Amino acid sequence: MLRDRTPKVVIFALKWCKVTDAWLDHVYNNWIWIYKSNEERLKATRSLLGLDSKEGFKFEDTILWDNFTEDETKRWKAIVTWVSWFSKNHAYIQNTYDISKKCGKNITEIKLKIISEHLKDFCPTNKDNQKERERKNIYVNKLCDFLINSFENLI
């Protein structure tokens, strides 16, 4: 139930960070399997997903921070940042993709548009040395490809 009802954009962020299974394990181990009855587990799942509240789903609330080492806390804080980034940006980027597709643009043109309009914070700058520029170019292209695949339901 948790995997199927988690907001899609959160699943995309978790996949980008390659932690989907780790997050699911964490949530089940710390919030759901602590209850014996299926009714209590279902209630806990609904609560975590925000299905019983006006506030909705809050990813940060699914993390039991007390159980983490310092390194794990840093890692999960970075994941929270990515979940937040995907939550804020995914729909806008998908809109750019959809409009570009309808206008008949090819994939290269679409990628350039997405990168220039939505991913410029990840792009190399004039201050970067050659190695850093190459690293950032690879990264921004991977992120753009990942996003496009999410729009085409390939992930």
The pLDDT tens digits of the residues spanning 117-141 come to 999 999 999 999 999 999 999 999 9
Number of domains in the chain: 1
Q: What does R_g of the chain's alpha carbons equal in angstroms?
A: 18
Instruction: Read off the pLDDT band of 155 (50, 70, 90).
Output: low
AA letter at 107: I
Give the pLDDT confidence of 80-91 residue by residue, as tens digits. Answer: 999 999 999 999
AA letter at 109: E
AA letter at 75: R
**How many CA within 13 A on the CB side of residue 138?**
6
Spatial CA neighbour of 86 closest among 52, 56, 117, 59: 59
Spatial CA neighbour of 101 closest among 110, 92, 114: 110
Which residues constitute the domain of residue 58? 2-151
Q: What's the confidence (pLDDT) of residue 67?
A: 81
Query: How many distinct helices (H) and strands (E) make up the chain?
Result: 7, 0
Q: What is the pTM of this model?
A: 0.91
